[in-house]
Amino acid sequence: MALPIKLLSTDFDGTLFAEFENPPVPVRLQEIIGNLQAQGTKWVINTGRDLSSLMEAIGRAHLSVKPDHLVLVEREIYSHEESQYVELADWNRDCHHAHAELFLRVREDVPRLMAWVNERFRATVYEDAYSPFCLIAEKNEHADVIHDYLNEYSETVPGLTVVRNDVYARFSHINYNKGTALHELARRLKISAEHTLAAGDHLNDLPMLMTRYAHYLVAPRNAVDRVKATVREQNGYVSHLSHGHGIADGIEFHLNGFTKI
């Protein structure tokens, strides 16, 4: 019987990878992914990290498997060709232009937003190559309050949204997220949502944890409540195991009844 999962989209931190575990990506999960790839399934790591940060973490994890594709900074698409990851030039260019145009409209408000945060919290606020406003809060409770404030602001700027992951947040264009990037990759690979699995643990994964993009959904035990609820509401699988163990469990759950891997 043909494999039901032809495209596997996994978040990285907290989903696939647990920094404090040894190995940080469970061997069993690596075996499952490797077996799926051997049968033609494409694997994309769909992450908020940028290329160098992800490559460094993958290197340290000594992975036995390599992703076929990457979605980086929750929006840019790369594909493995020969020994390197090559960008999907037209998508990434459109994405870059959309953000440049959007952030021009945001830039003059950034000092006011940073001042609001600095007056109330001990947090790190800065600009990087991907957003004129980035946040690292001291704790999630602070990030929640700042997130609400940023959401209110983003409603005044058409196209603007806040991407939140744990204590981190940044601005992004509403049309570019883990979901739309997964959709574009699937379109190019000619793989339908019916044959796609997505797994994630935090708020920045919500845009891809939708049956519109992935029929099979998985959240590990450590996922935040909103992610677990979203996955359950769509008949997805919430594992009683954490991080990569939970993802291995979830993939096996969805494959169960189709084939032995």
Does position 245 interact with Mg ion (CB under 5 A)? The reply is no
Shortest CB 16 distance to Mg ion, Å:
8
Shortest CB 11 distance to Mg ion, Å:
4
The CA distance from 126 to 242, in Å, is 32
The CA distance from 122 to 138, in Å, is 7
| Residues in 193-232 that interact with Mg ion by CB under 5 A | 201-202
Residue window 94-113: x/- pattern of binding to Mg ion, with contact defined by CB under 5 A: --------------------
Does position 164 interact with Mg ion (CB under 5 A)? The reply is no
Does position 11 interact with Mg ion (CB under 5 A)? The reply is yes
User: Phi and psi for 12 in degrees, rounded to 5?
Assistant: -100, -75
Select the residue interacting with Mg ion from 9, 14, 164, 251 (CB under 5 A). 14
| Structure tokens, 161 | 């949204």
- Give strand pairing partners of 80: 85
Does position 13 interact with Mg ion (CB under 5 A)? The reply is yes
Residue of 1, 3, 4, 8 lying closest to 186 (CA atoms)? 8
Q: Which stretch binds Mg ion (CB under 5 A): 5-13, 130-138, 150-158, 248-256?
A: 5-13
Residue nearest to Mg ion (CB): 14
Residue window 37-76: x/- pattern of binding to Mg ion, with contact defined by CB under 5 A: ----------------------------------------
223/255 with CB nearer Mg ion: 223
Shortest CB 1 distance to Mg ion, Å:
32
107/139 with CB nearer Mg ion: 139
103/176 with CB nearer Mg ion: 176
Shortest CB 12 distance to Mg ion, Å:
7
Shortest CB 83 distance to Mg ion, Å:
27
Q: At what angle do helices 27-38 and 243-255 cross, to 10 degrees?
A: 40
Per-state percent for the chain, helix, strand, coil, to nearest 5? 40, 20, 35
Parallel, antiparallel, or unpaired for β 42-46 and 7-10?
parallel
217/261 with CB nearer Mg ion: 217
**CA distances (Å), origin 259, targets 36, 146, 255:** 11, 46, 6
The CA distance from 251 to 109, in Å, is 44
Number of residues that bind Mg ion (CB under 5 A): 5
Kindly write down the DSSP assignment for every residue of 140-179, as one continuous string. HHHHHHHHHHHHHHHTTSTTEEEEEETTEEEEEETT-SHH
Shortest CB 15 distance to Mg ion, Å:
5
Q: Are 48 and 168 in contact (CB under 8 A)?
A: yes
Shortest CB 48 distance to Mg ion, Å:
7
Residue of 203, 187, 195, 208 lying closest to 258 (CA atoms)? 195
Q: Which residues bind Mg ion (CB under 5 A)?
A: 11, 13-14, 201-202
